[in-house]
Amino acid sequence: MKTKKKVVRVQQLDKDIPIELYRIEKSVDLFEYEGHYQYDFYQIYWFTEVLIPHKQEIDFVSYPVIAGEIWIIYPGQVHHFDPRYSRGYCLAIDKNYFHSVLFKEAKLRSFIGHGQLKFAVPFHDGQRLEYLHVLMEIEFNSFKRPTVLEQYLQLYFIHLQDLPLLSQPHMTMDDRVYKILQLIEEHYSTQQKNEFYAEQVFLSVKRMNEILFRAIGKTLKQQLQERLLLEAKRLVGYSEDTIQRIAHALHFSDVTYFNRFFKKHTHQTPKDFREQVQKVQDKVSFR
């Protein structure tokens, strides 16, 4: 994984095994400590011990790493984390597998999105999760049978849902809202019209926006702009592409329109934002 690039884009090592498990303290050699990583799969970090106070960074925001917390890292999020200063477990889960198997339970549909999702692990719950992690670790390091790993993981998520939620509670959403959010994730840069999304869920534009706003507090336009802006910030802040290439990749008609969009929502030009992110990265590297 080591590289001189600002962001390392990482895929799972073995596409035939949808679940991988690592101990944080044993994966130190896989990472550059100053590196930022963008994964195409879900990750679940359980910090069981913190050796010295430190932070992780997720999409431009820093959070303290605290023992006894479980964090969900979504596919596409840019994550910076120094594994030398904590111990625990990391689960890597293929996103298509995650969606098809784990989203069968309604409560787990709250795992879609980009807000931070984290849980506290009380002592008695930690013991059960520890046993499951050990079972998954034994299976992953020996037979690697997907069906067995799946059974363990489903048990793990049953227990995970019972843990105290430390982040903002996610609203319970029906199938149509969940489908709309999936469509936004797939088409946010290419489809901006309300009608496209309304047709996919067999609703009028008005009704679609009503149920979406009731579930997440945003209209379709607001959600689309928020998702598009997040990707724009990731590319401007962490990639070495020109602003013109980024505008083209996000399907803006020209770079001037992209610059206006970016400044309207961030109050900074893309150039100024990139310089600010670089200064922050330089400070981290210097330390």
What tens digit of pLDDT does each residue of 24-54 get?
Answer: 999 888 766 677 889 999 999 999 999 999 9
Whether residue 239 is predicted with pLDDT greater than 50 in this model: the reply is: yes
What are residue 20's phi and psi, to 5 degrees?
-125, 150
Q: Are 56 and 79 in contact (CB under 8 A)?
A: yes
Helix 255-266 to helix 220-238 angle (10° resolution) is: 100
What tens digit of pLDDT does each residue of 155-191 get?
Answer: 888 888 888 988 755 555 677 888 898 899 999 999 9
What confidence score (pLDDT) does residue 57 get? Answer: 93
Q: How far is 277 from 178, CA to CA, in rounded Å?
A: 33
More confident residue, 86 or 175: 86
- Give the mean pLDDT of 231-244: 94
Q: How far is 45 from 54, CA to CA, in rounded Å?
A: 15
Across-strand partners of 70? Answer: 46, 119
From the DSSP assignment, how many helices (H) and strands (E) are in the chain? Answer: 10, 10
What confidence score (pLDDT) does residue 128 get? Answer: 92
Whether residue 4 is predicted with pLDDT greater than 60 in this model: the reply is: no
Whether residue 241 is predicted with pLDDT greater than 50 in this model: the reply is: yes
What confidence score (pLDDT) does residue 150 get? Answer: 85
- Give the mean pLDDT of 126-133: 93
Whether residue 192 is predicted with pLDDT greater than 60 in this model: the reply is: yes
pLDDT tier at 217 (50, 70, 90 boundaries)?
confident
Whether residue 254 is predicted with pLDDT greater than 50 in this model: the reply is: yes
What confidence score (pLDDT) does residue 141 get? Answer: 92
Signed CA dihedral, 29, 70, 120, 213: sign only: positive
- Give the mean pLDDT of 205-233: 94
